[in-house]
């Protein structure tokens, strides 16, 4: 396998699940080992030194962890029962009186959790007003900031942050950079190569891709102190994913590259279509040449711009909700990264202070035929905005 060409490596790694063959049976997919505990021999030695009790680690999760680490070009991965559990485990490595920098506009579940967590623990949280690297750099305090959070492109506003520029500044300040790579996916962006220290995923989304598993992941370059603390946190706080979820995730990831390539190609065509639609007042997609983050995205997203986009319906909440409601093929539901296209009116779900516009619809583009998706968007937008 060519490690020189990351796309080639990712496609093959995902499809073969890191070349898994079960040595006991010859099976080419991993068996589902449900045991929570692992036996010792007559000298009280573990039969397999790697496994004691499944709250620490288990054979059920290791293949999926290996694949995600490889996809991200990382050395180690820890799987979690959800993206939020991964986020919580990372943040719990911060001490009281630490300083954390995060974007004000990000997946709001992360923002809400961070705000409450920092408040409870006495951590000083700076939410930066925009996603520009210069804003981040101004907010980073040398030897005081311990964690810098990046989400690029962000959900749902599609803000883009220059990961390399922020990582360089954070490194100089001795702060760790965490990149939530859920929307970009490792197919298009590999934050560790851009200088980030930790990559975090809601594996619920494109990694699994079938809207049937909740999972999260943390990836680092190599086993280090921070990973040890996150691992300890996972084990002691009991945040291990279930056996079946880990197995389903591995199965979902086998088609990761084809799904994400197709969905991103659909998204690019849809973004262009929406841009010229008379019922649309602006499209947020980093692949559009006139979008705010396009130049940075061209540098940091290789070969595509992802399957997530957002657009402003002419009018307000009434027209946006009417358009979502009129869609026949695209389902109104939360979440992103599945094989089916989903639309969501985030303003209905997020608190006012997150600033998501009333006329914004977020579209998670799936792998359907793009002409059918465009037809559905056209009829729903035309009927909603008169």
Stretch that binds ligand PLP, among 81-89, 221-229, 247-255, 285-293 (CB under 6 A): 81-89
Between CA 227 and CA 219 the distance in angstroms is 9
Cβ proximity to ligand PLP, 200 vs 384, nearer residue: 200
Q: Establish whether 55 is a catalytic residue.
A: yes
Token pair for residue 249? 């995730």
- Three-state helix/strand/coil letters over the chain: CCCCCHHHHHHHHHHHCCCCCCCCCCCCCCCCCCCCECCECCCCCECCCCCCECCCCCCCCHHHHHHHHHHCCCCEEEEECCHHHHHHHHHCCCCCCCEEEEECCCCHHHHHHHHHHHHHHCCEEEEECCCCHHHHHHHCCCCCEEEEEEECCCCCCCCCCCHHHHHHHHHHCCCEEEEECCCCCCCCCCHHHHCCCEEEEECCCCCCCCCCCCCEEEEECCCCHHHHHHHHHHHHCCCCCCHHHHHHHHHHHCCHHHHHHHHHHHHHHHHHHHHCCCCEEEEECCCCCCCCCHHHHHHHCCCCCCCEEEEEECCCHHHHHHHHHHCCCCEECCCCCCCCCEEECHHHCCCHHHCCCCCEEEEECCCCCHHHHHHHHHHHHHHHCC
**Is 156 among the residues that bind ligand PLP (CB under 6 A)?**
no
**Is 126 among the residues that bind ligand PLP (CB under 6 A)?**
no
**Is 311 among the residues that bind ligand PLP (CB under 6 A)?**
no
Stretch that binds ligand PLP, among 29-37, 180-188, 228-236, 281-289 (CB under 6 A): 180-188
Nearest residue to 256 (alpha-carbon basis) of 16, 19, 83, 22: 16
> 153: cis peptide before it, omega within 30°?
yes
Q: Establish whether 107 is a catalytic residue.
A: yes
**Catalytic residue of the set 55, 92, 171, 231:** 55
Stretch that binds ligand PLP, among 131-139, 178-186, 221-229, 338-346 (CB under 6 A): 178-186
**Is 300 among the residues that bind ligand PLP (CB under 6 A)?**
no
User: Which residue is nearest to ligand PLP, using beta carbons?
Assistant: 83
Cβ proximity to ligand PLP, 223 vs 335, nearer residue: 335
Distance between the two ends of the chain, CA-based, in angstroms?
Answer: 54
What is the nearest approach in angstroms of ligand PLP to the Cβ of residue 12?
26
**Catalytic residue of the set 66, 205, 254, 362:** 205
Stretch that binds ligand PLP, among 20-28, 104-112, 262-270, 317-325 (CB under 6 A): 104-112
What is the nearest approach in angstroms of ligand PLP to the Cβ of residue 212?
12
Name which position in 18, 54, 185, 202 contacts ligand PLP (CB under 6 A).
Answer: 202
**Is 155 among the residues that bind ligand PLP (CB under 6 A)?**
yes
Positions 3 through 42 that interact with ligand PLP (CB under 6 A): none
Q: Establish whether 138 is a catalytic residue.
A: no
Positions 214 through 233 that interact with ligand PLP (CB under 6 A): 214, 216
Stretch that binds ligand PLP, among 80-88, 94-102, 271-279, 322-330 (CB under 6 A): 80-88
**Catalytic residue of the set 162, 180, 197, 376:** 180
What is the nearest approach in angstroms of ligand PLP to the Cβ of residue 334?
7
**Is 107 among the residues that bind ligand PLP (CB under 6 A)?**
yes
Q: Establish whether 314 is a catalytic residue.
A: no
Cβ proximity to ligand PLP, 38 vs 247, nearer residue: 247
Residues that bind ligand PLP (CB under 6 A): 82-84, 107, 109-110, 151, 155, 180, 182-183, 202, 204, 214, 216, 335-336
Q: Which residues are catalytic?
A: 55, 107, 180, 205
């Amino acid at each position: 396998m060519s490690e020189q060409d990351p796309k080639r490596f990712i496609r093959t790694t995902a499809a073969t699940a890191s070349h898994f063959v079960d040595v006991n049976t010859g099976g080419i997919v991993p068996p589902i080992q449900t045991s929570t505990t692992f036996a010792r021999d007559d000298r009280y030695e573990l039969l397999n030194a790697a496994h004691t009790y499944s709250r620490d680690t288990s054979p059920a999760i290791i293949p999926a962890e290996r694949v995600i680490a490889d996809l991200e070009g990382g050395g180690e991965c820890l799987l979690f029962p959800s993206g939020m559990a991964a986020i919580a485990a990372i943040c719990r490595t911060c001490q009281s009186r630490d300083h954390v920098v995060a974007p004000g506009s990000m997946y709001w579940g992360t923002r809400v959790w961070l705000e409450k967590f920092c408040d409870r623990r006495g951590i000083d949280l700076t939410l930066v007003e925009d996603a520009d690297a210069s804003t981040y750099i101004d907010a980073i305090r040398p030897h005081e900031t311990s964690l810098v959070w990046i989400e690029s492109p962000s959900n749902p506003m599609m803000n883009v942050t220059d990961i390399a520029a922020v990582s360089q500044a954070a490194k100089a300040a001795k702060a760790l950079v965490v990149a939530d790579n859920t929307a970009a996916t490792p197919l298009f962006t590999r934050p560790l190569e851009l200088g980030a220290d930790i990559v975090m995923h809601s594996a619920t989304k494109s990694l699994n891709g079938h809207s049937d598993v909740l999972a999260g992941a943390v990836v680092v370059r190599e086993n280090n102190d921070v990973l040890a603390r996150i691992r300890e946190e996972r084990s002691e706080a009991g945040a291990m994913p279930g056996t079946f979820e880990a197995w389903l995730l591995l199965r979902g990831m086998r088609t990761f590259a084809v799904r994400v390539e197709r969905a991103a190609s659909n998204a690019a065509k849809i973004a262009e279509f929406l841009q010229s639609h008379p019922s649309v007042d602006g499209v947020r997609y980093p692949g559009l040449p006139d979008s705010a983050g396009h130049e940075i995205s061209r540098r940091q997203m290789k070969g595509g711009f992802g399957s997530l986009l957002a657009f402003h319906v002419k009018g307000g909440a009434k027209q946006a909700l009417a358009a979502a409601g009129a869609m026949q093929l695209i389902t109104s539901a939360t979440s992103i990264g599945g094989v089916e296209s989903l639309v969501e009116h985030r303003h209905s779900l997020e608190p006012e202070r997150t600033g998501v516009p009333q006329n914004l619809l977020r579209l998670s583009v799936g792998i359907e035929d793009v002409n059918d998706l465009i037809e559905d968007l056209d009829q729903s937008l035309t009927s909603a905005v008169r």
